[in-house]
A and B are shown apart, each in its own frame.
Chain A
Amino acid sequence: MRVLIIEDEVKIARNITRVLDEEYSWAVDICTDGEDGRHMAMTNPYDLIILDLGLPKIGGIELLKNLRARGMTTPVLILTARDDTRDIIEGLETGSDDYMVKPFDMRELMARCKALARRSYGRAAPVIEIGGISIDTARHQVMFRGRLVRLSAMEYRLLEYLAMRAGEVVSKADIAEHLYSSYSENFSNVVEVYVCSLRKKLGSGPNREVIHTLRNQGYVLGEPPA
């Protein structure tokens, strides 16, 4: 999952980034003003945007209006010190999906982020089951045929993303865009390495592949489309 935080209070943004990276191994980008935020949101495929309202250059509400007018469907969570009911209603009616008031609880924010990301892929249940693999997105636990499988942060990140889009062909570039922030170096061959190690850990054999490779197209978790 890849998240954009648009927040002018750098410390708060850094703390959220740290937690999302450490706990969820999500890729996070930070913008400290509305103008940068709009540019980043328009040029990268984010799974979630955390948006402050009192932003320099372009205000949060204005920015959100702008993004929605351009047809962007990424979930937006407003994180602001404005606690007036009218502000909350305005935020939600402008197109945000959730609203949190500062000071917030970090765990609650994480849980909400997770729920929003899950929903954006049309998934209601936190546990995804595909071909004998059970992925608990809340606990970050992966079970394969009743056995707990230990995955590295990057392996889990990849598996979760593929699981969210199970049954779809996901290109390598797509994976790279959703798993790395703008600041991390990404090489598409690294994706292959992680796919390879995932296959090993999920005990796939020649006849029962969990992650299918479609040449020149990408990967599919579960049954590939006909």
Chain B
Amino acid sequence: MTSLSLKWRVSLWVSAVLVAAITTISIAAYVEFEESHLREIDRTLLAMANGISAILDDRQSQDKLEKEVRAVTAAPGPNIPSFPYRIWMDGSSADLLVSDAPDNEHGRWLRELPGRSSEPPEEPAFMNIGRPHDEYRAIWMQHRIDEGIVNIVVAGSSHFTFHELREFLQLLLVLGTSLIVGSIVAIMWTVRCGLRPIDATAKQLQDIAHPNDREAVFDKKKVPTELRPFVRALTDMLERLNGVLQRQKQFTSDAAHELRTPLTSAKSTLQATQMQQRDPDEYRRAIDNALEDVARMERLIGQLLVLARMDEVNGPTATAEVELDVLLGELAETYDQRARQAGGKVNLEESSATTVRGDLDELVRLFSNILDNAVRYGPPGGAVRVALKCGPDGYATVYIRDEGGNIPPDAMPHLFDRFYRVDQSRSCSTGGAGLGLAIAQEIVRRHNGDILVTSSPDSGTLVSIRLARA
């Protein structure tokens, strides 16, 4: 289920709260209205009952009593019915005084009334009697006189009150409903207006097709204050993504350049040779030349693939226990043979049995790259010294030192950059693409190690690689 839109959710919540509030207020108003009206009648009824009590206390003759009671309960004005009453002695069913005949409708109510409550009330009791559209409010009180206890019931029509109450209820219903409906519409509209900046910001975001567009698109004035942190976070994110994109672009462009150069070289060699009839020696030279370029491309493509694969996965692809001393011994020998062709040498000077956890192929590539650099860029006929030392901290450090030491200080921060070359000219004699150290660093990083290069004319170039021991 998709979640409701923010607009609908806010509208629903506010509307629900509003409906509850309006309903509560209406009910309270209704109850208060009803009670205040009934209190009015009750006061009148109580006054009449008290008046009757006083008359009973001061009673002289039946005739006079009846006359006085009738005067008390008389209608206050024309077109208003008089107040029905009934007065009888407690314990007797005979009426002392009554306004209506027993078979009359009002008289029946007056007679039925005491039966509703089993216990006669100590305090004056008020109750509603009658039927819809002919409602009455009644008071029932007991009064002690010399002869015993007298029951007094006086009823007053509350028809008018209930009529008003019904009208008030109708008014409340109509008013409340229209208020609720109106409010909901108003809320929806307000929420819609309130959320419009979000839509506008979203539209601005939608217009961003390129990370460089962000400056142009975000008009600071149009972004509401509440959305600014959000937009700022978003622009920061774009900034970071742009950086990644730029680096990626630089990498792609460098890679294209590096691949094109040997390709161009091979193509131009072949085309130049093809233009005229040549003797077999020249053809052979051209083929050798082109093959050299192909080998360069092959090497480069291999390195690019290694980098691409390492970019895909974070940790080493296979973790095994690698005997570092054995590995270094073999590599030192291999590169020693290569160095000897130019009169140099590679010597493993210090070593002890050490195992590290990692990927054998990657570790071979790592130390090969460093040794290759040392042999290639060290002075011709120079010695490369390799040492493996184990520290007390559970780490093993490999030192590879050549006699070069000619890396300029301003080149140091860029040594591990992809495609960076200390010697910018692409002379074929040294011919790397500037990926060797980048790959080495990547491998070290994947093994949670450290790689450090120092270079000075006095002590030569020293590469130290620190790896955790298994």
Contact = CB atoms under 8 A, between A and B. Distances in A.
Contacts of B267: 103-104, 106
Contacts of B256: 81, 83
Contacts of B423: 56
In this complex, the member of B257, B268, B289 whose beta carbon has the largest number of chain A beta carbons within 10 angstroms is: B268
Contact of A103 (B264, B276, B425, B428): B264
Interface string A53-72: 01011000000000000000
B272 interface: yes
Interface in B235-279: 253, 256-257, 260-261, 263-265, 267-269, 271-272, 275-276
A148 interface: no
Contact of A81 (B264, B269, B275, B289): B264
Q: Which bracket fits the contact residues of A? A: 20 to 34
A81 B272 contact: no
Contacts of B275: 19, 22-23, 106
B5 interface: no
Nearest to B292: A11
Contacts of A185: none
B425 A33 contact: yes
A105 interface: yes
A11 B423 CA distance: 18
B257 A81 contact: yes
A54 B268 contact: no
Contacts of A83: 256
Contacts of A10: 427-428
Contacts of A54: 257
B257 A11 contact: no
Nearest to B424: A56
A63 B272 CA distance: 28
A106 B293 CA distance: 17
B426 interface: yes
Interface in B423-458: 423-428
Contacts of A81: 256-257, 260-261, 264
Given A8-B426, A10-B428, A33-B425, A18 B272 contact: yes
Contacts of A103: 260, 263-264, 267-268
Q: Which bracket fits the contact residues of B? A: 20 to 34
Given A11-B269, A15-B269, A104 B264 contact: yes
Given A8-B425, A33-B425, A105 B271 contact: yes
A84 B253 contact: yes
Given A19-B275, A81-B256, A106-B271, A12 B264 contact: yes
B272 A9 contact: no
Contacts of B424: 56-57
A32 interface: yes
A215 interface: no
Nearest to A32: B425
B270 to A, nearest CB: 9
Contacts of B263: 102-103
A11 B276 contact: no
B257 A82 contact: yes
Contacts of A33: 425
Given A54-B257, A105-B271, A22 B264 contact: no
B424 to A, nearest CB: 4
Contacts of B257: 54, 81-82
A102 B260 contact: yes
B427 to A, nearest CB: 7
A12 B265 contact: yes
Interface in B269-322: 269, 271-272, 275-276, 289, 293
A46 B106 CA distance: 134
A107 interface: yes
Interface of A: 8-12, 15-16, 18-19, 22-23, 32-33, 54, 56-57, 81-84, 102-107
Ranked 3 nearest A-B pairs via Cβ: A106-B271, A15-B268, A102-B264
16 contacts: A8-B426, A8-B427, A9-B265, A9-B426, A10-B427, A11-B265, A11-B289, A19-B271, A23-B275, A54-B257, A56-B424, A83-B256, A103-B267, A104-B268, A106-B275, A107-B271
